């Protein structure tokens, strides 16, 4: 895992929310709940070799991660999204366990 994946730039997240902290906090909670669902979806897509939907799931996490200010993690998601779109299964196979562990650790840290 890359420690940078766990950095949350709250100022960037607040900027996406027009400076409204209450909205930002709601989006962070939504991000946590969404990631829990996406982990299951990504695992199913991975096990079924459903790369089109794997790309969609990765893209969805990426977009929300940017919104909360997790820009390095969003880049990690982008790498998975484009690997799936381009058929780079070797990258996905090599990094899948790390990607899942990173998502779980990030939501654990954000939830604390």
> H helices within the chain, ranges in order?
10-16, 21-48, 51-68, 71-86, 89-111
Predicted local distance difference test score (pLDDT) of residue 6 = 62
Predicted local distance difference test score (pLDDT) of residue 108 = 87
Q: Is the dihedral of CA 33, 36, 40, 42 positive or negative?
A: positive
Residue environment code for 26-61, b if the CB has 16+ CB neighbours within 10 A, otherwise e: ebbeebbebbeebbebbeebbeeebbeebbbbbbbb
Predicted local distance difference test score (pLDDT) of residue 17 = 87
Give this prediction's pTM.
0.88
Predicted local distance difference test score (pLDDT) of residue 111 = 80
Predicted local distance difference test score (pLDDT) of residue 97 = 96
Predicted local distance difference test score (pLDDT) of residue 3 = 67
Measured between alpha carbons, how far is residue 3 from residues 14, 47, 48, 72, 109 in Å?
Answer: 22, 27, 30, 9, 12
Predicted local distance difference test score (pLDDT) of residue 8 = 84
Q: Any idea where the domains of the chain sit in the sequence?
A: 3-111
Predicted local distance difference test score (pLDDT) of residue 59 = 96
Q: Which residues in the chain come in under a pLDDT of 70?
A: 1-6, 112
């Amino acid at each position: 895992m890359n420690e940078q994946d766990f950095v949350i730039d709250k100022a960037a997240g607040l900027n996406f929310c027009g400076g409204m902290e209450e909205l930002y906090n709601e989006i962070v909670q939504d991000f946590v709940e969404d990631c829990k669902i996406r982990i299951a979806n990504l695992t199913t897509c991975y096990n079924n070799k459903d790369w089109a939907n794997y790309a969609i799931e990765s893209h969805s996490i990426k977009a929300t991660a940017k919104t909360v200010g997790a820009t390095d993690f969003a880049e990690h998601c982008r790498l998975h999204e484009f690997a799936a779109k381009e058929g780079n299964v070797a990258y996905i196979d090599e990094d899948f366990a790390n990607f899942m562990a990173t998502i779980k650790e990030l939501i654990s840290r954000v939830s604390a």
